[in-house]
Amino acid sequence: MTVHDIRHNISFFRQERPPVYFDNSATTQQPDEVIRAVINFSRYTNANPFRGLYDLSGEATAVYEAARKKVAAFLNISDPRQIVFTRNTTESINLVAECILRTNHSRFRIDPGDRIVVTVSEHHSNLLPWQRLARITGARLVFMEPDSTGLITDAEIESRITDRTKLVAAAHVSNVWGRVNPIDKIILRARSVGALTVIDGAQAVAHMKVDVRNTGCDFYAFSGHKMLGPMGIGVLFGRADLLEQLDPFLSGGEMIEYVTRESATYAPIPHKFEAGTVNAAGAAGLAAACDYIDKIGFDYIKSQVNTLTAEVMNGMREMEGITVYGSRNPSEHNGIVSFSIAGCHPHDVASILNEDHICVRAGHHCAQPLMQFLGIGSCVRCSLYAYNTHREVSRFIDCLSRVRKVMGY
């Protein structure tokens, strides 16, 4: 499959004049197959899964559970019960944090003075839940800091994850500078001290083959809309033994086995974490997205994204006043290039690019501690995917080269 084939399969790019879409770290565009899967469920299978003895409800249940199996296979997970559907990465991570708070089990006990370790480059969604958990339990929130290229070093991992550490949370890939965190080393160190591990995979799953089973992590979270899928569907992988021990934090329909006036017995995993009517159409779309990414192939995705990233960074190096954050090696950015232009506010840069129908993100990228670590308030983020083209990069670089002139420099 080529970039032409991919763009032909995405209606967004079949518009008469589509914008240059370089905000793929926020949301990716959806292939026709994904949109069709969502529409077909809504047209022909629109009934509550699990809740009817009639055939249509059974068909809806089959679609939903087939999607769960598809996602499990996509992550190399043999037991689909370890896949919990949520709304997004944020809800998945909050689910873990809130369930830990509600569970009276020694495996999840966090005492005053214990450590919860995160990286300073985390998205707020993988920071705020742990801030809250630390505040309520009296634990100490400890930050691993990267070097100038965005890498968390072995020494940093060893020194921050101590015997008092009860939980470690880290992004697989940073949403600001695209650096892959050494999660294998982080997880290995955490396991050696008996700490739980929560990995934010939102920026990873569309760019690399994620083998969750072999990572050894306890929990892994991501969103459908960042991997060619629809909005409103997310995933939480959790080890079966941990999910079975955790108490849920959302209660209601379909997450129970039996209810009396005084008490309730919860349903088996994963259903005890999926209270209420589920997003079956979204799950169908996510399954289609998994298939489509497999059809493209991660080798092609990596090659295309790395080539375009190199073109962007090489173009920036020829301009005056541009600072690129993170590694100087384009292949270590996973399509994410965050930068600043001297004397130009990031919002002004994004607005000038927008006038030429180029979409980038400007702001703190929901990573304010990292902005503070870098000594900046905000920056511009260009994020690429396998359906972007050399022509789009040329247009972006040409417009970017005129920003300082437009701003009066």
Q: What is the pLDDT of residue 179?
A: 97
Segment 220-224 mean pLDDT: 99
Tens of pLDDT, residues 56-92:
999 999 999 999 999 999 999 999 999 999 999 999 9
Where do the domains of the chain lie?
Answer: 3-30+297-407, 34-294
Q: What is the pLDDT of residue 368?
A: 99
Q: Which fold has domain 34-294?
A: Aspartate Aminotransferase; domain 2 (3.40.640)
With 90 as the cut, is the pLDDT of residue 272 above it? yes
User: What's the pTM?
Assistant: 0.97
Segment 142-148 mean pLDDT: 96
Q: In 3D, which of 36, 108, 30, 37 has the Cα closest to residue 66?
A: 37
Tracing tokens 């005492």 back to the chain, one arrives at: 111
Active site residue 379: no
Segment 23-46 mean pLDDT: 99
Confidence of residue 407 (pLDDT cuts 50, 70, 90): confident
Q: Is residue 116 a contact partner of residue 141, using CB atoms and an 8 Å limit?
A: yes
Q: Is residue 337 a contact partner of residue 309, using CB atoms and an 8 Å limit?
A: yes
- What dotted CATH number matches 3-30+297-407? 3.90.1150.10
Supply 180's token pair: 């892959």
Q: Where are the alpha helices (DSSP H) in 45-112?
A: 55-74, 89-102
Tens of pLDDT, residues 109-128:
999 999 999 999 999 999 99
Q: Which of 217, 290, 344, 366 is catalytic?
A: 366
Name the 3-class secondary structure at 265: strand
Tens of pLDDT, residues 324-372:
999 999 999 999 999 999 999 999 999 999 999 999 999 999 999 999 9
